[in-house]
Each structure stands twice: as structure tokens, then as C-alpha cells.
């Protein structure tokens, strides 16, 4: 049993000396996760396709003295097994273990709003604006890469168990989306279908990789500012999303986008709580109370 003084936030949510890896860690939600972990003492490696973005993230957001570190590693195309193998080898040359993997890399894909009652119009809009190649790309990036990224790092994750690392529990946090739960396509059939698959994949991995003592949980974000949603980032790789943009959607009770702090809370919780496995946390401002889901 714990004494009261042992339940201080700075103690129960500290990730001091943890070694973490965040894919797509240079912008958006990946960068939010990176900052949260580094601010609380972790050594956080970030990877992605654009090395200059990773380097700028580390330069702009590395914590002050007393915090952890943000270290660019890569670049890496997480849809490539050979790139993943190189990334594992590179990280293994620097670290003996990995406490946390955050699989965040993703793309939005094509958009074709099904906003007509005419089957002919629906056919024409979707047929002309989407392709098999688009779907393949979205599924490969948002689902397949999550699976192979996790499998690639299983040995390093398991290596963090026991010894001086106890009572730590290695884990994976899969960044999915509220879009994978709702029945509203939002015009993004490929993206929403992929995120639905990502959510189920995280549950499959949580059960099957339990044997290896690696936990897998998922975060389903709502509207958060990111380069993917706003199509741009500032000089520090950050993005602004006006509250009005969220309010005009009409189904967000919070009436604003999510904040960096709110995403940070979810990431740290799933990283530290060793009694949570196979769960999905929606951080969506109440959207799923308003939009039909499964």
C-alpha cells in the first residue's frame, strides 16, 4: 500500500530515464507526445520522413535543464520494412532497451463527401475523386506501418523488463482517431476505415503481445491542431487551429480544439499505468456523444 506522500503527481507520472520512440514525432500530435515525455524526464527519439523537421523539433522544443531529451533519429519511412530494420539497428546501437513506442505517423488520404441523395451523383463524385492507389497508401501508412513498427521493436521493448528497470512495463501507444469509431465518413472513407482498422489492430496486439509482457493501448484524438489537419506548421513545427473552425462543425460540445496539455495527459497516463492494457481512450471534446458510433 502507498503512503499519501508517495502519490504526488511528479512521482507517479514521472518518466525520468525512460527511453521512448515516437514515429511522426516532429509535428502535430506526435510532437505533443514527444514534448510531454521529454518534459517529464524521458529520452525521446523522434523519427519521420523529413530530417529537417525532426531537427527543428528538437531545436525548438528540447526541455530546459532538468528535463529529458529530444533526439532526432532517422529519417525513416515506416511503411518500409528495410527502413524499420535500419531504425531498430540504429536505436539498438545507442540504447539497450525501449520503454515506450508511440506509433503516430499517418496520412489523411482522399476526400469525397457523400452529400447527394442521387446514386449517380454519389458514384461520380467518389469514383472520380478516389483511387485504389489512394486507399492502398492510406491503409499502408495508417495500419500496416503500425503493425510492423510494433513488431520491429518488440525485442527492445521486452529488454526493458526487470532488473533495475522494475517496476516499469514496456508499452505501445497507437495514435488512432475518433474517426475510426464514428459512422459519419466525414468524406474520408479511406481514412476512417483505416483508423477503424488501427483501433482493432491495437486490441489484437494487446492480447497477442501480452505473452511478451508488452502492453498496447490506443488514443483516439478528436480535433487537434496538426500539420495534417491545417496543412501547415509554423517555424517551431506547431500549428494553430481556431476555435471557430471547430465550432462550425456543430458537433463538438467543448467548442474548441484539443490542447497540447490534454494530449500530454493521455500519453503520460497510458505510459505509466501498468494496469491498463488493450484500451482505447477517446480524447475528443465529447464528439462521440454527438455523432453516431459503433
Phi, psi values for residue 196, rounded to 5°? -60, -40
Among residues 249, 246, 191, 239, which one has the least CA distance to residue 223?
246
18 is catalytic: no
Helices 51-61 and 28-39, packing angle to 10 deg: 40
Q: Which residue has the cell 505517423?
A: 105
Q: Could you tell me if 252 and 270 are in contact, meaning their C-beta atoms sit under 8 angstroms apart?
A: no
In the residue annotation, 176 being an active-site residue is answered as yes
Q: Give 160's contacts (C-beta < 8 A, 6+ positions apart).
A: 19, 97, 98, 99, 168, 170
Q: Which of 191, 202, 223, 226 is catalytic?
A: 191
Q: Which residues of 95-114 are buried (b: 16+ CB within 10 A; e: fewer)?
A: bebbbbbbbbbbbbbbebee
Catalytic pick among 145, 149, 177, 195: 195
Compute φ and ψ for 242, nearest 5 degrees: -65, 145
Question: C-alpha cell of 221?
Answer: 484524438
> Exposed e or buried b for every residue in 141-174, given b needs 16+ CB within 10 A?
bbbbbbbbbbebbbebbbbbbeeebeebbbbbbb
**Cα distances (Å, whole numbers) of residue 80 to 77, 148, 160, 198:** 6, 9, 25, 18
Catalytic residue among 176, 202, 206, 226: 176
The answer to whether residue 62 is catalytic is no
Dihedral (Cα; 59, 31, 161, 8), 10-degree rounding: 90
| Size of the chain in residues | 294
Catalytic residue positions, numbered: 176, 191, 195
Amino acid at each position: 500500500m502507498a503512503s499519501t506522500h508517495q502519490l504526488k503527481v511528479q512521482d507517479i507520472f514521472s518518466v525520468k530515464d525512460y527511453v521512448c520512440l515516437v514515429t511522426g514525432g516532429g509535428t502535430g500530435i506526435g510532437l505533443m507526445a514527444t514534448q510531454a515525455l521529454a518534459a517529464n524526464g524521458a529520452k525521446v527519439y523522434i523519427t519521420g520522413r523529413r530530417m529537417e523537421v525532426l531537427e527543428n523539433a528538437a531545436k525548438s522544443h528540447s526541455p530546459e535543464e532538468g528535463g529529458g531529451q529530444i533526439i532526432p533519429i532517422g529519417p525513416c519511412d515506416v511503411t518500409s520494412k528495410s527502413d524499420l530494420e535500419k531504425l531498430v539497428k540504429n536505436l539498438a546501437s545507442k540504447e539497450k532497451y525501449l520503454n515506450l513506442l508511440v506509433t503516430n505517423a499517418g496520412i489523411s488520404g482522399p476526400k469525397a463527401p457523400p452529400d447527394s441523395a442521387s446514386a449517380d451523383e454519389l458514384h461520380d463524385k467518389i469514383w472520380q475523386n478516389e483511387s485504389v492507389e489512394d486507399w492502398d497508401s492510406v491503409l499502408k501508412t495508417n495500419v500496416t506501418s503500425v503493425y510492423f513498427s510494433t513488431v520491429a521493436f518488440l525485442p527492445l521493448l521486452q529488454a526493458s523488463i526487470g532488473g533495475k528497470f522494475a517496476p516499469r512495463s514496456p508499452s505501445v501507444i497507437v495514435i488512432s482517431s475518433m474517426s475510426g469509431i464514428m459512422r459519419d465518413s466525414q468524406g474520408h472513407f479511406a481514412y476512417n476505415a483505416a483508423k477503424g482498422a488501427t483501433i482493432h489492430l491495437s486490441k489484437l496486439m494487446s492480447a497477442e503481445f501480452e505473452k511478451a509482457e508488452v502492453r498496447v493501448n490506443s488514443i483516439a484524438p478528436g480535433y487537434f491542431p496538426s500539420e495534417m489537419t491545417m496543412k501547415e506548421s509554423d517555424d517551431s513545427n506547431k500549428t494553430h487551429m481556431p476555435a471557430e473552425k471547430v465550432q462550425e462543425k456543430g458537433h463538438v460540445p467543448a467548442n474548441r480544439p484539443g490542447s497540447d496539455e490534454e494530449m500530454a495527459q493521455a500519453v503520460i497516463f497510458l505510459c505509466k499505468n501498468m494496469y491498463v492494457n488493450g484500451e482505447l481512450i477517446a480524447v475528443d471534446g465529447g464528439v462521440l456523444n454527438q455523432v453516431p458510433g459503433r
